[in-house]
């Protein structure tokens, strides 16, 4: 019985957290996600806010404005770095 209550409470907390996140303004949530990505060492990425109905390339990482919009993460190719030795060859 205790296990059932634990599962029920966990599900309720998870639902409440998802609902609270869904109500956030998109730019605020996008900023929070960007900070987490950068803290984990991710450097080349793109976060796009779009209507939830629109198909997108990438992974949905958040929902905002009451669930009417979504934030999509995609990797971007890193820029090749030019060294001074490479620059002198041109």
Compute the Cα dihedral for 49, 52, 56, 61 and give only its sign: positive
Q: Cα separations (Å) of 33 from 2, 9, 17, 51, 57?
A: 35, 26, 15, 18, 18
Q: What is the pLDDT of residue 18?
A: 53
Q: What is the pLDDT of residue 80?
A: 55
Q: What is the pLDDT of residue 23?
A: 82
Q: Round to whole Å and give the CA distance between 29 and 65.
A: 10
Name the stretches of the chain with pLDDT < 50: 4-16, 83-84, 86-90
Q: Round to whole Å and give the CA distance between 74 and 4.
A: 38
Q: What is the pLDDT of residue 66?
A: 94
């Amino acid at each position: 019985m205790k296990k059932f209550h634990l599962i029920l409470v966990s599900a309720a907390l998870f639902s409440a957290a998802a609902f609270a996140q869904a109500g956030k303004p998109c730019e605020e949530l996008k900023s929070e996600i960007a900070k987490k990505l950068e803290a984990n060492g991710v450097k080349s990425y793109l976060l796009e806010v779009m209507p939830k109905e629109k198909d997108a390339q990438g992974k949905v990482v958040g929902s905002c404005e009451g669930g009417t919009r979504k934030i999509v993460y995609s990797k971007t190719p890193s820029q090749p770095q030019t060294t001074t030795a490479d620059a002198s060859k041109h």
